[in-house]
Amino acid sequence: MRRAILAAIVLVTGLLVLLDLMVVNPSLDDAAGAVNELLVLLAAAAAVGGGVTLVAFHARNLAARDGDSSGSIVLLVGMAAILLAGLRPGSSGSSDPAVLWLVAALLAPIAASVFALLFVFLLRAFRRGFALRVRETSLMAGAAALVMVLLLPIGGQAGDWLASGAGWMRDVPLAGVFRGLLIGIGILVAVSAARSLLALDGDDE
Amino acid sequence: MPNLGELASYLVGLVTDAVGSSSMRLGAAPTVAILVVLLVLLSLIARPGARWSGSGLGGLGRVSRVMALAAESGADATISLGSAGISRAASATERFQTLAALPLLGHVADAAARAGVPLRVTTNDPVAAIFAQATLAGAHQRTATPERASAAAIEYVGEGRASAAAFALATAGPHGLAMVAGGLAEDATLVLDGVLGDAEWSVAATAGASQAAGPLLDGDGSLIGPELFQAAGEIRARGHARTAVLAANLLIWGAIGLLLAGSLITWAGGSQVAAFLTGR
């Protein structure tokens, strides 16, 4: 019974949103708007709840001397610094200069440093890929090597030939594969979205 | 005292009035086209004679065996729901991958609950964490193992793709089974390597077309592009789900019929026909 009620709620709200997408009707707009506002409220409540849970989890770790204490301290101090900068009296919130400085001087470089590891980890992924599936990884590595050769900065007739080869590689096989993937994703997103809107992906065992 | 006939005519009048006061947002042809596409797709997935046997996408059929091996060796299982989340500022297609990952999470959670393997789920979105919590609760309910629910944990790792990547790298370790399923972007290689790196067996799944190489390189099993959604559909393909899809198809046919009838009524002069139908 409980499942039927939930499924009915999902079905009704899903159809409401779907109809509002296609039909212009003031009442429908209001109803769909109300549903969207509830969703925003839910997301906001969940975000606050997630933050509180994170603080509680790391505070408990510190109290119990469990896990990575230094990491917990860094996280709690970081959260406190951002909250203090954004919520202190006179602050303009997320656009406050102190918040912007913290983001630009600390968060952005930290994130950039993490992403700078991509090259190293890509090589490691290739190593792992070779260990797992030689055929697919070999194909991928071969294609990557071919593209790198085609993009070599060589002048003259050979350079023109390589450049046109690189353009063909990008525009024909790569674009074809990419479009094929996107078309497949689009079709199955539509199917999955319909299943979700119609409450068919619930617990059905 | 109103009788059933009056009530029915009142309801029909209400609907025709609502239809009469509405207009097509996309125009008639695009609306019909969208509905037809939806119908065709639903009919395809709901055809009773369709083949519903799993095709072994991503090696998901091995999950139970791998989980049993993990139970024997005392290992745990870990799942990351990607870095797109559900309520984060990512594109709708990316966030939808998180929803598509939930059936996969349920599939693994079922196996973990049966085998008694501790399961850890990480996400960088609190709303996704709530969904994951409900999925794990459902798994323990289905498998009648509520006493093992405490062994499963959901961790919110903080906001941002960098957080998800950094957390994955910082907590890398040996796992019996590791899975990354959901939207991934430039962080894909870092998340995949951190979560799946030292696992006995791993699955990587993302529909991010530009990140297809990551799952192929890092996972023992991989679901790339549309396969993520296909696998989610296969896992959830049960008998009465097909019945529900058929019922939904009928419902959509009814909605189309009502829209067409309402449009014809409006086009033909509106109130007279509606009045005739509703007896007013």
pLDDT number for residue B43: 63
CB nearest A188 (choices: B35, B158, B229): B229
Q: Which of B99, B106, B165 sits opposite A196 (nearest CB)?
A: B99
Contact B152, B127 (CB under 8 A): no
Long-range contacts of B255-259 (CB under 8 A, 24+ apart): B255/A15, B255/A19, B255/B35, B256/B32, B256/B35, B256/B39, B258/B15, B258/B19, B259/B19, B259/B31
Chain A partners within 8 Å of B224 (Cβ): 181
CB contact under 8 A, B226 and A187: yes
Are A188 and B97 within 8 A, CB to CB? no
Give every CB contact of residue A173 below 8 A, 6+ residues apart in sequence. Answer: none
Say what the pLDDT of residue B276 is.
43
Among candidate residues B217, B237, B238, B240, the one with its CA nearest the CA of residue B229: B237
Quick check: helix, strand or coil at residue A6?
Answer: helix
Mean local confidence (pLDDT), B48-77: 77
**Contact check, Cβ <8 Å, B186/A53:** no
What does the pLDDT read at residue B274? 45
Task: Please name every residue paired with B24 in a beta bridge, in sequence order, or none if there are none.
Answer: A23
Shortest CA gap A54–chain B (Å): 7
Interface of A with B in 70-89 (CB under 8 A): 71, 75
β-pair partners for B155? B122
Chain A residues with beta carbon closer than 8 angstroms to that of B213: 140
* Separation CA B199–CA B221 (nearest Å): 12
Distance from CA of A57 to the nearest CA of B (A): 9
- Which residue from A193, A14, A9, A7 is spatially nearest to B241, judged by alpha carbons? A7
Q: Which of residues 142-171 of A touch B (CB under 8 A)?
A: none
Contact criterion met (CB < 8 Å) for A194 and B96: no
Q: pLDDT class for B65, splitting at 50, 70, 90?
A: very high
Query: Could you give the strand order of the β-sheet that contains B175-181, starting from the edge strand earlier in sequence?
Result: B153-156, B119-123, B77-80, B175-181, B199-206, B221-224
Q: Which residues does chain B have within 8 Å of residue A110's beta carbon, measured at their own beta carbons?
A: 162, 166
- Under an 8 A CB cutoff, do A193 and B197 touch? no
pTM: 0.71
Tell me, what's the ipTM? 0.72
| CB–CB contact B99 A192 (8 Å) | yes
Closest residue, chain A, to B248 (C-alpha)? A198
- Return the minimum-mean-pLDDT range out of A34-38, A145-149, B10-14, B106-110: B10-14
Residue A120 in contact with partner chain B when CB distance is under 8 A: no
In 3-state terms, what secondary structure has residue B269?
A: coil
- Which pLDDT score, from 0 to 100, does residue B103 have? 87
Alpha helices in B24-91 (DSSP H): 28-46, 63-73
Point out the residue among A75, A181, A193 whose CB comes nearest to the CB of B209.
Answer: A181
Q: Please answer yes or no on whether A136 and B24 come within 8 Å at the CB atom.
A: no
Smallest CA–CA distance, residue B279 to chain A, in Å, is 24
Per DSSP, chain B holds a count of helices (H) and strands (E) of 11, 7
Q: For chain A, what percent of residues have pLDDT higher than 90?
A: 4
Q: How far is A111 from chain B (nearest CA, A)?
A: 5
Token pair for B25? 């947002």
In this prediction, residue B250 carries a pLDDT of 57
Place B170 in a pLDDT band, splitting at 50, 70 and 90: confident
Residues of A in contact with B218 (CB under 8 A): 125, 128-129
The secondary structure of residue B124, as a DSSP letter, is S
* Cα separation, A162 vs A150, whole angstroms: 5
At B194-224, the pLDDT tens digits run 999 889 999 999 998 888 888 888 888 889 8
| pLDDT confidence of residue B49 | 43
Q: How confident is the model at residue B46 (pLDDT cuts 50, 70, 90)?
A: low
Residue to mutate among A181, A183, A187, A197, with most B CBs inside 10 A, is: A181
